[in-house]
Structure 1
Amino acid sequence: MAKLTLMSRTYCHLCHDMEAVLLPLAAEFGVDVDVIDVDTDPRLEALYDELVPVLLHEGAELCHYYLDVAKVRDYLSKIR
């Protein structure tokens, strides 16, 4: 099963918005979503500080700030 990684912050409204739209899409395609709080790891915070939310698949960035639904839907249909 494919797994997407959402780099997030607990106090970030954009992160919450992206997660809310992403979860139904992930369920539709049968993929898991791992939400990681970048503030729990100094290395992740340094990498993603101003970019969160960032959606990744196997380390490759799919989008950041806002979920590009069409792009992610197309991507998921190809890796399925």
Structure 2
Amino acid sequence: MKNTAAAAPSLTLYSRSWCHLCEEMLTELEPLARAFGASVEVLDVDADPALVERYDELVPVLVYEGVELSRYRLDVERVRAALATRAA
């Protein structure tokens, strides 16, 4: 039997605690995520050496289902399109 209740979409924001662009992206992202019933997991790259190596000066980076949607600034239309496709 197929599960008709799909899990809520989950976005991952790679961030840093002292990063003003990270704070801005999260602030802009939260209402959009709410509108689609998505959750946002914020991961501090400084907490994991592997994440520092991968993302270091690239943060903030927003990822959804393994696909990078935004870097530095929120690409609202791209995020909306990705979430809308999932909702359809």
Matches within 5 A, 1:1-80: 1-80=8-87
Give per-residue Cα distances to partners, 1:38-74, cap 9 Å, x unaligned. Answer: 0000000100001100000122111100001111111
Whichever of the two has the greater Rg, that structure is 2
Q: Distance in 2 between matches of 1:63 and 1:5?
A: 11
Q: Distance in 1 between matches of 2:39 and 2:58?
A: 22
Amino acid at match of 1:42: P
In the superposition, the TM-score normalised over structure 2's length comes to 0.88
In the superposition, the TM-score normalised over structure 1's length comes to 0.96
Q: Distance in 2 between matches of 1:40 and 1:58?
A: 22
Which runs of no fewer than 5 residues in structure 1 stay unpaired?
A: none
Q: Distance in 1 between matches of 2:44 and 2:37?
A: 23
Regions of 4+ moved over 6 Å: none
How many residues in Structure 1 have an aligned counterpart in Structure 2?
80
Give per-residue Cα distances to partners, 1:12-63, cap 9 Å, x unaligned. Answer: 0000000000011000000000000000000001000011000001221111
Q: Distance in 2 between matches of 1:45 and 1:11?
A: 14
In structure 1, the residue corresponding to 2:73 is in which secondary structure? coil
Over aligned residue pairs, what C-alpha RMSD do you find?
A: 0.6
Higher relative contact order, structure no. (Cα contacts within 8 Å, ≥ 6 residues apart):
1
Which runs of no fewer than 5 residues in structure 2 stay unpaired?
A: 1-7
